[in-house]
Amino acid sequence: MDTLKPQRHCLRRWFALRTPGCCAIAAAQSDPPSEYEVKAAFLFNFTKFVEWPDGSFNDPHAPIVIGIIGDDPFGDSLVRIVAGQQVQGRSVVIRKARFGEDLRHCHVLFISASERQRSAQILAGLRDASVLTVSDIDGFAEAGGSMQFVMQENRVRFLVNLDAATQSKLRVSAKLLALAQVVNHGQAR
C-alpha cells in the first residue's frame, strides 16, 4: 500500500487551490480544466517551490521569466494564471522564445513537443544555467531535463530529475518533491 497516497492527495489539492486563475478557469467553464490548463497551473506553481541561486536575477525587482520554446500548447491559460501574480516578491512574465536565442534569461523554460528533435541541443545549451527545464516530451527527465509532465490514470503528474535540478544550482522544495516521482537521483555524472 502506498502510505504517501493520502498525503500526496492532500498536497495536490493544496497545490491546485493555491493557483490563482486555475480555480477561475474551472469556475468559468462547466468542463474540468484541460490537460494544458492543468500543466499551466503546475508551471506557475513550480516558481513557488524552486529556489534560484544568487545572481539569477538582474536586480531585486526583476521578474521571474517563464519561457516557452516551440509551439505554445497553453493558449491563453498560462497568461491568465500569472496575470497580476507575484512570487517571492517578483512579478511573473511569459516570454516566447525561438531556437537559437539565448535562453539563459528564463528561470523556467517549457520545451514544447514541437522541439523534440532539438531538445538535446537546448538542454546542452543550458547545461550550466540556473534554468528549470520542463517538458512533456517522452524521456525528457531521463535525458537531463529538470521536470517532465506525464499522464497517469488520466491525470497530469510530473517527474523530477533531481540531479539535473541540482546541477543547475536549483533547490526544489521537499513539498514539491512529495508530489513528484523523482528520477536519476544520485546518478549525477
Beta bridge partners of 135: 111, 148
- Model pTM score: 0.83
C-alpha cell at 104: 539563459
Q: What is the dihedral of CA 32, 38, 40, 46, to 10 degrees?
A: 150
How far, in Å, CA of 38 to CA of 73, rounded? 12
- pLDDT per residue over 74-95, tens digit each? 999 999 999 999 998 999 999 9
Where are the domains positioned within the chain? 5-183
pLDDT at 135 over 90: yes
3-state secondary structure of 75: coil
For the segment 1-39, what is each residue's pLDDT rounded down to a tens digit? 444 444 444 444 445 444 444 444 444 556 889 999 999
Q: Residue 154, exposed/middle/buried by CB under 10 A (0-12, 13-18, 19+)?
A: exposed
Q: Does domain 5-183 have CATH number 3.40.50.2300?
A: yes
What's the grid cell of residue 49?
A: 517551490
